[in-house]
Amino acid sequence: MRKGELTRAAILDVALDLASRDGLEGLTIGVLADRMNMSKSGVFAHFGSREDLQIEVVKLYHQHFEQEVFYPSLKEPRGLPRLQAMFARWIKRVSVEIASGCIYISGAVEYDDRPGAIREELAAMVRTWQAALRRCVEQAITMGHLRADTDPQQLVYEMYGLVLALHHDARFLKVPGSVNRAEVGFERLISMYRAPQPAGDEMLADMNNQKSAVKKTA
């Protein structure tokens, strides 16, 4: 990368940190210039406007989300194992963001009733993630991991509800054990939608669960 590209990347990293903490509306050229030890004009030269900067921050956040949550989960087998991996990595990321903040969640509060390019960018990113979850659920249905009558949109909605509750209780109310509650909620949710297993598979699943319990207590 050339010097200008490196500087721009560095500005965006700091801008993402600020936006996670103070919200996208709290992100200003002045504050960013102070953090970067640059002039306002120097920062502004890399972006056409404050709105362009905010949109680039949203895109960078989405890239990080994909790299940490989506792409690693694709290494898991299709269907339920992949869906479980997506949710586990999603929860892990949210648990880290409890101290800083989630752009998707804070952005939804900031821009829920403010039409414009930033809102559209945020909404597009969230819809992209929901679509990925929905495709994964549909694959799990096709492969017989989840019941044939499972409503993919409903399951994704309920998964989102668990994450929003986690973020609310852990970040706002500071409730201990919120991450574990979200994980338990997801397991209960999947058990409701899981397709019936043949008797032999049920015995094997029981044996695996017993082995897991032994390992945890060892």
The pLDDT tens digits of the residues spanning 28-65 come to: 888 899 999 999 888 888 888 899 999 999 999 999 99
In this prediction, residue 201 has a pLDDT band, given cuts at 50, 70 and 90, of: low
| Percent of the chain predicted with pLDDT > 90 | 75
Predicted pLDDT of residue 176? 95
Predicted pLDDT of residue 4? 81
Contacts of 28 (CB under 8 A, 6+ apart): 50
Q: What average pLDDT does the structure give for the chain?
A: 90
Handedness of CA 106, 112, 118, 121 (dihedral sign): positive
In this prediction, residue 133 has a pLDDT band, given cuts at 50, 70 and 90, of: very high
Domains of the chain (ranges plus CATH)?
57-197 (1.10.357.10)
Mean pLDDT computed over 86-109: 92
Predicted pLDDT of residue 28? 87
DSSP letters for 45-108: TTSSSHHHHHHHHHHHHHHHHIIIIIHHHTTSPTTHHHHHHHHHHHHHHHHHHTTT--HHHHHH
| Cα–Cα separations (whole angstroms), residue 120 to 61, 72, 169 | 15, 27, 27
Predicted pLDDT of residue 3? 83
In this prediction, residue 210 has a pLDDT band, given cuts at 50, 70 and 90, of: low
Predicted pLDDT of residue 206? 52
Sequence length of the chain is 218
For the cut 80, the answer to whether the pLDDT of residue 207 exceeds it is: no
Picking from 54-63, 65-74, 99-108, 199-208, which range would have the lowest pLDDT averaged per residue?
199-208
Predicted pLDDT of residue 188? 97
For the cut 50, the answer to whether the pLDDT of residue 217 exceeds it is: no
Predicted pLDDT of residue 100? 82
Predicted pLDDT of residue 197? 78
